[in-house]
């Protein structure tokens, strides 16, 4: 269970000084955050795969060329072979969906991909391979080191903004132009 001061349903926006190649210029949607740690999906880095590639590997037929051509995200460096779907809750509940908020769910189940291929999927969805994770206290430490900004997740950024524009768009939610920040951080 997420605590009252949880950052679940928030974007973690990497500051320019963050030089970890997995997260540099990254935006991660935090799906869970509690005293045991945090888990999220990066939303602004495309993988080398399309949804058609993934559906084909799973023997799921899809005749929708636009859907098949849609990019699959690099969700993070952990379990890169595992698929995750961030989606709107819509009318159906998919097997093993986890509700992040009233407007957003996460699932790892095959049934949502089958429904998407049949044109019966959720209104909005993005597919990612892998996830990002933090042990207890690790994310809090990184926040104190000025590695990240946080802002409540915005569905327009997630579902209606180009992958390459999501880093800047997420920062603009708090009125920040990241191109104006120095690529290093310091403490007074």
| Chain segment 6-47, per-residue pLDDT in tens | 999 999 999 988 888 899 999 999 999 999 999 999 999 999
Residue 123 domain flag: yes
Q: Rounded CA gap, 40 and 153, in Å?
A: 12
Q: What is the pLDDT of residue 176?
A: 85
Q: What is the pLDDT of residue 187?
A: 45
Q: What is the pLDDT of residue 188?
A: 43
Number of structural domains (the chain) is: 1
Q: What is the pLDDT of residue 91?
A: 64
pLDDT at 55 over 70: yes
Residue 14 domain flag: yes
- Helices (H), ranges, the chain: 51-57, 65-69, 110-117, 138-144, 155-160, 166-172
- Residue 48: which of 71, 22, 24, 78 has the closest Cα? 71
Structure tokens at 183: 């690529």
Q: Beta strands 148-152 and 10-14: pairing type?
A: antiparallel
Residue 41 domain flag: yes
CATH number at residue 24: 3.40.1740.10
| Chain segment 105-158, per-residue pLDDT in tens | 999 989 999 999 999 999 999 999 999 999 999 999 999 988 899 999 999 999
Q: What does the pLDDT average to over 98-107?
A: 92
Residue 1 domain flag: no
Residue 89 domain flag: yes
Residue 80 domain flag: yes
What residues make up the domain containing 175? 10-180
How many residues appear in the chain? 188
Residue 72 domain flag: yes
Confidence class for position 4, pLDDT limits 50, 70, 90: low
Residue 101 domain flag: yes
Structure tokens at 137: 């206290």
Q: What is the pLDDT of residue 17?
A: 82
Confidence class for position 92, pLDDT limits 50, 70, 90: low
């Amino acid at each position: 269970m997420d605590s009252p001061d949880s950052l679940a349903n928030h974007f973690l926006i990497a500051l320019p000084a963050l030089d970890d190649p997995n997260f540099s210029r990254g935006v991660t949607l935090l799906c869970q955050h509690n005293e045991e740690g945090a888990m999220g999906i990066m939303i602004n880095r495309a993988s080398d795969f399309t949804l058609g590639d993934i559906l084909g590997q799973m023997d799921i037929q899809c005749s929708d060329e636009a859907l098949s051509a849609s990019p699959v995200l690099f969700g993070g460096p952990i379990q890169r072979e595992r698929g995750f779907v961030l989606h709107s809750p819509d009318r159906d509940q998919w097997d093993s969906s986890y509700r992040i908020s009233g407007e957003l769910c996460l699932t790892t189940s095959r049934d949502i991909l089958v429904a998407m291929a049949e044109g019966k999927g959720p209104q909005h969805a993005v597919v990612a391979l892998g996830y990002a994770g933090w042990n207890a206290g690790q994310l809090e430490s990184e926040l104190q080191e000025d590695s990240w900004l946080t802002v409540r997740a915005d569905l327009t950024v997630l579902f209606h903004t180009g992958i390459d524009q999501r880093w800047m768009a997420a920062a603009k939610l708090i009125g920040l132009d990241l191109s104006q920040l120095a690529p290093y951080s310091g403490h007074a």
